[in-house]
Amino acid sequence: MKIREVVSKIEKRIPLQQAEDFDNVGLLCGLWDRDVSGILVCHDALENVVDEAIFKNCNLIVCFHPIIFSGLKSLTGKNYVEKAVIKAIENKIAIYAIHTAFDNDFFGVNAGICQQLGLKNLKILQPKKNDLKQLTVFVPKEYSEKIKEALFEAGAGNIGFYDECSFSINGNGTFRPKEGSDPFSGQLGIRENADEDMISVIFEGYKQGQVVAAMKSAHPYEEVAHQIYSLDNTNHYSGLGMYGDFEEPMDEKDFLKFVKEKFNLEVIRHSDFTGKKIKRVGVLGGSGASGIKSAISKKCDAYLTGDVKYHDFFLAESKMLICDIGHFESEQFVTQQLFEILSQKFSTFAISKSIEKTNPVNYFI
């Protein structure tokens, strides 16, 4: 199987279009048409991980963090990024990064944190806005099902945990073929009355090209009457962070002990105790101080993330317990999640999970 085939299957499960605009996801180095001998899944594609890939005969590294984040002006091995990339290229190893595409996935990074905590009734903390579009197309009644099937196959009609969602209205359409046309029905110069259905479907904006192409390919008309609208609706199934509820609330200190045990932590930095029970918890893997206000607005009693700065802790204002458990620590389940996803999709070659340490932060206790 070629690298492009592997990537295509990965992106059907975790679309890169979910990633944040600032991110650098996708194939960072390597040739698309090279055969895959094995896949190594890791958190950071550092030089020691590339060495591990060489030892395990894996020529594709699927990592969470992109080893190349900003532009490289030279490759001389002067820093840890260049050393890793040079070694990968010299050994014909491709590196593919998923990062915020998996952060924004409903079953991604933050779902893994919530699962570890045992939270229920999960919802996205910062759902994507201006992400949804609606297509309305007019089609001869006898072609309605064919058009729907084409739209659904292209990824339209997905609403939350439902798919193949659409709405149709039957009506009468008119058109008059002019010279130069090649009409599906009717005669030149004569107005045609057609029994038509108006079909409407919703889709994520990044799918527009494939949805429109599928619709036009299946449609019998030479000129397809359709409209596309940008919706103000929020996409509640894609976005950063997540929150959910414990079945039974717990005291704040018991909660911190529970988190420390579940995440195998040396230390937790936290804001002042509020004196409230912990029932609803918000999470955002990685650097998540940007989600503090959202967590408060969602009535969270506690918020778990990493990289919280000094002044960010003041934002708690006795409304919520802010917990900095560490950047890597909050994302520590990602490698296992990606390993499980890839293991389900590929059975013809080896999928390995990296055992190398890549967390740059150490603790002296």
What residue numbers does the annotated binding site for a divalent metal cation cover?
A: 65, 103, 327, 331
Angle, in degrees to the nearest 10, between helices 144-153 and 208-218: 150
Which tokens is 355 given?
């055992």
Which tokens is 247 given?
């079945």
Q: Which residues are annotated as a binding site?
A: 65, 103, 327, 331
Calpha distance 157→180 (Å, rounded): 35
Q: In what order do the strands lie in the sheet with 321-324?
A: 120-128, 235-250, 278-287, 302-306, 321-324, 269-270
Alpha-carbon torsion angle 245, 251, 257, 263, nearest 10: 10
* CA-closest candidate to residue 89, choices 98, 78, 76, 100: 76
Three-state DSSP at 105 gives strand
Residues 6+ apart with CB under 8 A from 297: none
Calpha distance 254→251 (Å, rounded): 5
Which tokens is 317 given?
């204002």
H/E stretch holding 304 reads strand 302-306
